[in-house]
Structure 1
């Protein structure tokens, strides 16, 4: 009996930890942060000072500047769009030149839903068993990338492509694999063994990857 109770308590604790790891539910209709206190988000505007403009954002009408990979993104978080504050969501506009790529990456705190506004995008993710789920998406189609899983995109059409991504977190986070592996302080010896490269080859690979703005 004691063992059974202990197991139940452990399960309850684990469930509580999972719940606490998600964005918390708002305690009021909205909370527009006071501009002078950004980016701390520690206090809300008086509701009498809130206007409709606090809930409208115009910053993704046009695409951003493309990188060497033919990709540009405009993230829209509560820092840029205060109306999102405490609502547990954020979004991004992503544009791809023909052949442009969004390098393999993941969001540690959010699931993403990607909607193809224009173009044809080869899109997919890799699960924890290294299975790839990928296909070409056409205009109007939607794909979901489960929380924390590696995913990627590439424009396989002949014209520019655009995606709107939506996240179920105010702060989804972003980890790009090339930068995380080669732009961090991981020991050279470990990377040499992982990739089967000598120090000169590794330095060449690092220089090539990290000079590409993604």
Structure 2
């Protein structure tokens, strides 16, 4: 096989891989759940956010999502949302979304946000009400409320199911061997066990 044909073949494989890495391509106006043949306007309406209106202020970092598991009408539409509530002094765990970027819109309070790119460069910004910030797809990021009042943000995603991989949980409660973790973090097993104990669910 000539180098040109090999390059074309590899390029076509990469293109196919990119096509399958995102949401499905819809060939109809919308997709219905299995065994559903007719829908009305209620199918396209999501009402669970009503519970946030007038509710007591959150006391812990809270995420309320409108993604495919909660809202089947989103299937094939490449969009989802989350409402994030940050009481004073709280933060999201370090995390990333493997299937989508995140566009955060701060509607109340102040947040310090940031992400790390693949060259290990840290980007940090202090946001105030009305600001937006983009977390690129697949990059580790955080949000932290340094203020004295609650902060509320709306996050939009370019996937019906962006996924969330929490680094503390992924690293320390999934059963990765303590020796491997200790070597990776250049520390000792006792420190790893201490970190794991702090993440273990309280009984």
Q: Same fold (TM over 0.5)?
A: yes
Deviations 1:104-163 (CA, angstroms, capped at 9, x unpaired): 100111111111111111111110011111101111111111111001000122211111
CA distance in 2, matches of 1:22, 1:125: 22
Count, aligned residues:
199
CA distance in 2, matches of 1:165, 1:78: 15
CA distance in 1, matches of 2:121, 2:62: 27
Q: Alpha carbon RMSD of aligned pairs, Å?
A: 2.1
Tell me the residue number matched to 1:11.
11
Contact 2:178 2:193 in 1 (8 A): no
Deviations 1:161-193 (CA, angstroms, capped at 9, x unpaired): 111111111111111000001001211111122
Contact 2:112 2:127 in 1 (8 A): yes
TM-score, normalised via structure 1 length: 0.85
Tell me the residue number matched to 1:53.
42
Runs (5+) with no aligned partner, structure 1: 34-42
Tell me the residue number matched to 1:121.
111
Query: Does 1:208 pair with 2:198?
Result: yes
Bigger shift: residues 7-16 or 92-101: 7-16
Contact 1:31 1:45 in 2 (8 A): no
Tell me the residue number matched to 2:161.
171
Q: SS of the counterpart of 1:137? A: strand
Q: SS of the counterpart of 1:190? A: helix
Runs (5+) with no aligned partner, structure 2: none
Contact 1:91 1:164 in 2 (8 A): yes
Contact 2:115 2:123 in 1 (8 A): yes
Deviation at 1:56, TM superposition (A): 1.6
